[in-house]
């Protein structure tokens, strides 16, 4: 469509369809054309419409009423709580990325979100460090000649909520975390997760019993290598991607663009006990916490959880790995190696898991250190 003044209802309809198409594009030429086209649409609607069309805020509120959503449920799509409040009050117009997210995840038609108003530019350039960018290239998720901002835009097509990450911080991320590097890591996870095909019908229900079966894989020599296939049976994607400089990250649970939960692990602490606890912790998030109001949870497990979903995920993981009745019989101030092995056998898990839990609960990190399986997970997974 050539950009020109609108002179008829048919041309107005065509302009709206063209604007909707441009919203799906990320190149600068399309963004420039969209901004000009919005001005043309605004002029036509101001002169011709007798009844005012719904504003973006009104369209969002209408959909919230239909889905019984609260303002906090919009945080994954609009950013911080204050940004949600500003947009719902009509004080700020949604960005192009936010419009994409609202349309794709909440089904709000693009036309009222475009409205007759001008919108903010899509994104500010990434500030990810050179070291983080080079690591992405080394890991093979970022193309050799690809610019970091183009890489992020590619990942955004899988999960638009990624655009909000740089504007917030989770309860379990290190205060020194480089949010731009963290965003780049999440983008790498989504790029890895996008081509993974899941069964059309789930063979397993993702619940506590399923988590227990996953935990018992730890007793098998090839357990870590079998995890991805087992998780896929419940519609869950597993991605292992090394952490980037400045991210201080153990794992994450992220919603893919099609709604499939993605469990991502960094193997930052290459130990058997840490691998299985982190895996079950993120599985807990995938089962219990991911959804319309929460599309991304990031974890540095060296940071104590502040309660809420983190405490719930910790308990879920501990109970899946070593059932409470088994732990109650085993736990003692001075257990023997034989007692530890017996508890692991009864729980059906690798002895490193029982050793790691005892060390953590008793704050004694000198005992059983040789039983933790240091440096073994990466070898098992071939990473």
Tell me what pLDDT residue 256 has: 87
- Domain range list for the chain: 9-114, 198-321
The token duo for 75 is: 């945080």
Low-confidence ranges of the chain (pLDDT < 50): 50-52, 121-122, 166-169
pLDDT at 259: 86
This prediction has a pTM of: 0.68
pLDDT on residue 53: 55
pLDDT 10s digits, 325-383: 999 999 999 999 999 999 999 999 999 999 999 999 999 999 999 999 999 999 999 87
Q: Is 208 exposed, middle or buried (0-12, 13-18, 19+ CB in 10 A)?
A: middle
| Per-residue model confidence (pLDDT) at position 124 | 64
Task: Tell whether the torsion through CA atoms of 32, 34, 39 and 43 is positive or negative.
Answer: positive
- Per-residue pLDDT at 9: 81
Q: How many helices (H) and strands (E) does the chain have?
A: 18, 4
* Pairing state between β 261-265 and 237-240: parallel
CATH number corresponding to 9-114: 1.10.260
The values of phi and psi at residue 296, to 5°, are -155, 125
């Amino acid at each position: 469509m050539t950009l020109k003044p609108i002179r008829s209802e048919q041309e107005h309809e065509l302009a709206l369809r063209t604007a909707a198409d441009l919203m799906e594009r990320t190149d600068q030429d399309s963004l420039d054309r969209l901004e000009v086209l919005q001005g043309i649409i605004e002029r036509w609607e101001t002169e011709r419409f007798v009844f005012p069309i719904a504003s973006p805020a009104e369209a969002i509120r209408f959909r919230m009423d239909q889905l019984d959503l609260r303002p906090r449920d919009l945080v994954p799509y609009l950013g911080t709580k204050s940004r949600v409040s500003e947009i719902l009050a009509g004080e700020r117009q949604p960005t192009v990325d936010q419009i994409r997210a609202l349309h794709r995840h909440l089904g709000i038609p693009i036309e009222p979100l475009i409205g007759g108003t001008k919108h903010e530019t899509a994104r500010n350039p990434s500030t990810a460090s050179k070291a983080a960018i080079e690591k992405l290239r080394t890991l093979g998720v970022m193309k050799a000649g690809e610019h970091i901002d183009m890489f992020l835009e590619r990942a955004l097509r899988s999960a638009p909520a990624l655009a909000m990450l740089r504007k917030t911080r989770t309860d379990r991320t290190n205060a020194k975390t480089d949010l731009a590097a963290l965003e780049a890591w999440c983008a790498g996870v989504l790029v890895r997760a996008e081509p993974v095909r899941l069964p059309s019908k789930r063979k397993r229900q993702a619940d506590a019993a399923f988590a227990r079966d996953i935990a018992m894989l730890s007793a098998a020599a090839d357990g870590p290598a079998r995890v991805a296939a087992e998780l896929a049976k419940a519609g869950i994607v597993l991605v292992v991607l090394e952490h980037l400089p400045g991210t201080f990250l153990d794992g994450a649970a992220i919603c893919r663009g099609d709604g499939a939960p993605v469990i991502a692990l960094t193997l930052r602490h290459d130990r058997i006990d840490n691998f299985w606890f982190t895996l079950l912790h993120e599985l807990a998030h995938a089962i219990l916490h991911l959804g319309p109001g929460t599309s991304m949870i990031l974890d540095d497990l060296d940071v104590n959880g502040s309660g809420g979903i983190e405490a719930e995920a910790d308990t879920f993981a501990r109970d899946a790995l070593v059932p409470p009745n088994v732990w109650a019989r085993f736990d003692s101030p001075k257990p023997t190696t034989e007692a530890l092995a017996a508890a692991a056998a009864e729980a059906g898990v690798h002895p490193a898991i029982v050793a790691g839990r005892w060390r953590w609960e008793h704050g004694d990190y000198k005992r059983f250190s040789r039983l933790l399986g240091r440096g073994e997970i990466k070898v098992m997974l071939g990473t």
